[in-house]
Chain A
């Protein structure tokens, strides 16, 4: 009966987080930080000492690869310089660089199937709710709920309650990427049947919801079929490997000012209500 009352009270509340939840998360984040530290120490001993057999041969191979890559890098730098000159000529705006902070993934979600992670950065580091979280490859998710002092919860983009405004890079067709309980774990909704979308097209964040920085990669179209209604049925393979996230970057831009051209950002999906 007490549980039912508790659930009912939460259903009726429109905003705000229960104190119980906030306190429990804060305390447990500290325990988890310690546990993760111990786990990492054991893993480091294993990977830095036990797994170093054959490191010499690998080192030689890597040195050769580095030399080859340095040559390639110089070629790319020359290309990039030329591209910058062309951009200036065309008066294109260069992409904005956002302030970010690196954060370590210290825990997952205790409810199996609920796709959130806990990172080791919190309000003391300037992290706020609804800030975007990215990886070098692309969009990871967003901060949900009030962060603790040194920890925050991140809802992954592949969670079935997560969503982000998106564009097909090639044709600029707009839509919304949402998490799905299948493989691939993303689908792109609200794209007109008339839009030109092909498998392999790159999907990027449009920034319309005011959370994710515009232009960040989300994934690639895996399949695109004409839907029965107005919209196409599109599945998207994410560029980020969510199964092995160790470090992420939090974009330290409050969500509303992330895209100043959108004065009223759409509300994001309900945080983590899936199991």
Chain B
């Protein structure tokens, strides 16, 4: 069940990212939904799931993107593992620590990704700080929103249903 949920989350993130990129190039460059999904999985399910999710999502993302296969895979594997380890060591159950985790992990991923490409292509590393910071901030916002939705969404639906039931019973009485 857990595995199916992780695979579904990664697939949805991948489809959303490519669709967003088809609609708006500028918009898509400001968020990495696949990375958000990997960090989410690592925080929610621990380092092993984070590592496996990062590896799988990165490899598929690389193969679809047309670049060198393995660069994104290795970056996301590292991110998934370290976020999972840090998530198990520290309390990250409130929005601020989670946001910081998403922000830090996104910056770490960007550094890994660019450094690996620079290493493989034997060139100097290109690192656009402002672009990386913007993407990390947006990733953080999307990530904590996903957590809020996953944790409070069912509760809110239950509340709405119970409110509907109570209001309909009041109507029936009158």
A4 touches B117 (CB 8 A): no
Q: Mark A30-45, 1 if CB is under 8 A from B, else 0.
A: 0110011001000000
The CA-CA distance from A25 to B59 in the complex, in Å, is 12
A115 with B25, Cβ < 8 A, contacts A11-B120, A25-B63, A108-B18 known: yes
Contact partner, A113, options B23, B29, B64, B73, Cβ 8 Å:
B29
Cα of A155 to Cα of B25 in the assembled complex, Å: 13
Q: CB distance A24 to B60 under 8 Å?
A: yes
Residue A112 contacts which of B30, B73, B117 (CB distance < 8 angstroms)?
B30
Contact A108 B21 (CB under 8 A): yes
User: When each residue 159-193 of chain A gets 1 if its CB lies under 8 Å from chain B and 0 otherwise, what string results?
Assistant: 01000000000000000000001000000000000
Contact yes or no, A109 B65, CB < 8 A: yes
Residues of A within 8 A of B55 (CB): 3
Within 8 A of B (CB), among A258-274: 271-274
Which of B14, B66, B72, B116 has most chain A Cβ within 10 Å? B66
Partner of B63, one of A20, A105, A114, A275: A20
Find the A residue at minimum CB distance from B24.
A243
Interface readout for B118-142 with A: 1 if CB under 8 Å, 0 if not? 0011000010100100010000000
Inter-chain contact A3/B135, CB cutoff 8 Å:
no
- Report the Cα distance A25→B21, complex, angstroms: 16
Contact B120 A242 (CB under 8 A): no
Chain A proximity of B60: nearest CB distance (Å): 6
Interface residues on chain B, size class: 35 or more
From A21, A28, A275, B117 is in contact (CB under 8 Å) with: A275
CA distance in complex: A106, B64 (Å): 13
In the complex formed, the residue of B with least CB distance to A28 is B64
Contact of B22 among A28, A115, A118, A144 (CB under 8 A): A118
Nearest-neighbor residue (CB-CB) of B131 within chain A: A113
A-B contact pairs, 14 of them (CB 8 A): A21-B62, A25-B66, A28-B18, A32-B18, A35-B18, A39-B23, A108-B19, A108-B25, A109-B21, A110-B61, A110-B64, A114-B67, A181-B126, A272-B66
Partner-A contacts on B (CB < 8 A): 14-15, 17-26, 28-32, 34, 55, 59-74, 77, 110, 113-114, 116-117, 120-121, 126, 128, 131, 135
8 nearest A-B residue pairs (beta carbon): A108-B21, A24-B63, A7-B70, A3-B74, A107-B18, A6-B70, A111-B65, A21-B63
